[in-house]
């Protein structure tokens, strides 16, 4: 029989979290509505359970050791996860279909189409969350929209939108360059993500007339969402994913500088959590997502 994993008293862990957050035993007692001595007793019990001190006396006050601080952080994160899950219980009971998407996909594709989905399927609730990286979230949502190289797709993953990218800027920046796209790129500023990969791949394909000088300014931004928003605000020239700039191009916020594209081997992908693909509501949501061709918006 598998033995239960041993854990210290819940009250002792709550006392440790409170001491770390309030900075003193007395303040921790006030937060927990118990006496100073009660908190001290819980901390002493925790130290006895661990077999090592996790506090050190400094004059009349008590501070956490490095080990105590580390444990308190883990305890706080664990309690926060429990608090967060309790907050989500109404959503769990509502049986909402959860979609995790990168910020640029959420803003440019999901949000503009949510009202149409609500009108078509009023009985299906959606929970949209942001994936801040292209790594899968834990625990997995019902549906994930990620960005990855097409030769690295998982067996249960399919292509949702192509990931090819083209150079764009605001009409004002293009006009400042005499409506000459190559000159606009040469003038800059060039907007890029941290690894500068996109311009390094695009410029050799475009040719020498597009090559910026050494004095051309480069502005670095984190992620495709900030990159596109910076371009829309007229801060510089960016290479953006064609799938996410369709709306900005159609409304005239951005203009296309060249049809030369890179990253044909990348894609926004759709993945459904194992076991959820048989749920009728999830099937409806995935069919809706697959119908959202950006260039038709």
Number of structural domains found in the chain: 3
Q: Are residues 122 and 190 in the same domain?
A: no
Q: Does the residue 132 lie in any domain?
A: yes
Q: Looking at the structure, do residues 99 and 156 belong to the same domain, yes or no?
A: yes
Residue 274 resides in a domain: yes
Task: Write the CA distances from 6 to 2, 3, 45, 54, integer angstroms.
Answer: 12, 9, 15, 19
Range(s) of the domain holding residue 107: 94-163+266-296
CATH of the domain at 37: 1.10.10.10
Whether 251 is covered by a domain: the verdict is yes
Residue at a domain's end among 91, 119, 140: 91
| pTM of the full structure | 0.67
Bond into 143 cis (ω within 30):
no
CATH of the domain at 133: 3.40.190.10
Spell out the per-residue pLDDT of the chain, length 297, in tens.
344 457 888 999 999 999 888 888 889 889 999 998 998 899 999 989 988 898 888 877 788 889 988 998 999 988 888 887 777 666 556 567 889 999 999 999 999 999 999 899 988 888 888 887 655 566 678 999 999 999 888 888 999 999 999 999 999 999 999 999 999 999 989 999 876 789 999 999 999 999 988 888 999 998 889 999 999 999 999 999 999 999 999 999 999 999 999 999 999 999 999 888 899 999 999 999 999 876 544
Helix axes 242-250, 223-232, angle to 10 degrees: 20
Q: Are residues 23 and 60 in the same domain?
A: yes
For residue 185, being part of any structural domain is answered with yes
Judged by DSSP in three states, 238 sits in strand
The two most distant CA atoms of the chain are separated, in Å, by 78
Residue 140 is predicted with a pLDDT of 77
Domain boundary pick from 48, 65, 91: 91
| Listed residues 61, 91, 121: the one ending a domain | 91
User: Do residues 258 and 238 lie in contact, with contact meaning Cβ atoms separated by under 8 Å?
Assistant: no
């Amino acid at each position: 029989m598998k033995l239960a994993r041993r854990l210290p008293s819940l009250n002792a862990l709550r006392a440790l979290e409170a001491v770390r957050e309030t900075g003193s035993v007395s303040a921790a007692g006030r937060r927990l509505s118990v006496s100073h001595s009660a908190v001290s007793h819980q901390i002493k019990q925790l130290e006895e359970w661990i077999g090592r001190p996790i506090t050190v006396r400094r004059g009349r006050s008590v501070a956490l050791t490095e080990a105590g601080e580390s444990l308190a952080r883990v305890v706080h994160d664990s309690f926060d996860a429990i608090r967060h899950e309790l907050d989500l219980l109404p959503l769990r009971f509502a049986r909402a279909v959860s979609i995790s998407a990168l910020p640029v996909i959420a803003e440019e594709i999901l949000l503009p189409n949510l009202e149409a989905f609500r009108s078509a399927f009023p009985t299906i609730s959606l929970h949209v969350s942001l994936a801040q990286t292209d790594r899968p979230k834990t625990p997995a949502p019902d549906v994930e929209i990620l960005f990855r190289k097409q030769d690295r797709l998982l067996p249960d993953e399919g292509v949702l939108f192509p990931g090819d990218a083209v150079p764009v800027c605001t009409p004002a920046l293009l006009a400042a360059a005499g409506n000459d796209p190559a000159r606009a790129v040469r003038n800059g500023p060039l907007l890029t993500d941290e690894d500068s990969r996109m311009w390094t791949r695009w410029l050799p394909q475009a040719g020498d007339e597009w090559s910026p000088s050494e004095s051309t300014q480069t502005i670095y931004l984190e992620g495709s969402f900030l990159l596109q928003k910076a371009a829309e605000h007229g801060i510089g020239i960016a290479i953006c994913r064609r799938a996410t700039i369709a709306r900005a191009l159609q409304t005239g916020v951005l203009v296309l500088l060249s049809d030369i594209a890179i990253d044909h081997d990348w894609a926004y992908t759709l993945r459904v959590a194992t076991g959820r693909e048989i749920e009728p509501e999830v099937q409806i949501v995935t069919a809706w997502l697959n119908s959202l061709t950006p260039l038709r918006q």
